[in-house]
Amino acid sequence: MTEALERLTNLVALLLETRRPLTLDEINSELAGQYPPAPETRRRAFERDKAVLRDEGIPIEQVVLSGDRAGATGYWIERERFELPDLGLTEEEKRALQVAVAAVRISAEWAGAAMQKVAAPAGDDATGHEAAGGGGPLAAALPSLDALPALFEANTSRAPAQFDYRGRRRILDPYGILSREGRWYVVGHDHEARELRTYRVDRIEGAVTVGVPGAFDVPDNFDPASAFPADAKLVGEGALVDARVWISAARAQAVTEELGEAAVVERRDDGSIVVSVPFANAWAFRSWALGLLDDAEVLAPPEVRAETAAWLAAIAGNGG
């Protein structure tokens, strides 16, 4: 598979750069050793390559030649048909388009090919690889989710979005959609809660219904990046809970560096500490505590300690 992909890439580059149509024998000579030596086997491999490229939308032209190559078929790729014309984009517009491709299309392969055609920096070579002194196109491989198109539509048209989330119907004015650590989130005004809420898109249940356009305005001071907590423990629906967690001496320094010195509410003689850990997402909090294994113990509030103990017991009972 790697050899076939390399041959296809080299074939496209060759047919793009040639100044005259090339016969199969000439192509085979230029791509030395990449096609089978036997003429009939070589012809079949070349026909398969042509079919693959044409299925991908790459226009391979062909013509019956005359002169000293009379009767042979020549092949080439018309650059004008393969490449987009200059769109007259400024550098700022190109960068904005690169960010949009990286953020929305959710495919590194597609993004790289698109930016090669539209806005790849001048330093890139014909294969899309970064050449010396040039910057490569921006691309992010993020998951494609069924709910995303409707959420983007609702956000763009300023329409409320309705969806089921954890067994409840939600009506949200989607102020912004963003990705964080490989996951998509939608942030907006929740009609029932009457406050700003953040929902993970992959946890939306079923289809998203888009309401009437123009139903809301995004507040002037809204910034999705700052509205979305960097700490997963703070991304939740409930009221903020301040837990107290004991941390062993072995992990005290690491946890202090993670949470900040202000989170330490008690230092004990044995080197252990007690930290304040605010959370709105109980699952994320429990996962964080579990990651510390025997080096952490939830002390308070009592109900959080009890819920965490029950959660751990359930995991142990299921063999997890």
pLDDT digits (tens, 9 = 90+) for 3-51: 677 788 888 888 888 889 999 999 998 888 888 889 898 999 899 888 8
pLDDT tens, 174-233? 998 877 656 788 889 999 988 888 888 888 999 999 999 999 998 888 876 666 666 666
Average pLDDT score over the chain: 79
pLDDT of residue 133: 36
pLDDT tens, 234-252? 666 556 789 999 999 999 9
Question: How distant, in Å, are the alpha carbons of 14, 74, 81, 171 from that of 61?
Answer: 13, 8, 10, 53
pLDDT of residue 245: 95
H-helix or E-strand containing 148?
helix 148-157
Please state the φ and ψ torsions of residue 279, each to the nearest 5 degrees: -155, 150
Q: Check pLDDT > 50 for residue 105.
A: no
Q: Check pLDDT > 50 for residue 111.
A: no
Annotate 37-49 with b (16+ C-beta within 10 A) or e (fewer).
Answer: eeeeebeebbeeb
Q: Check pLDDT > 90 for residue 265.
A: yes
pLDDT of residue 126: 36
Q: Check pLDDT > 70 for residue 279.
A: yes
Total residues belonging to the chain: 320
pLDDT of residue 209: 96
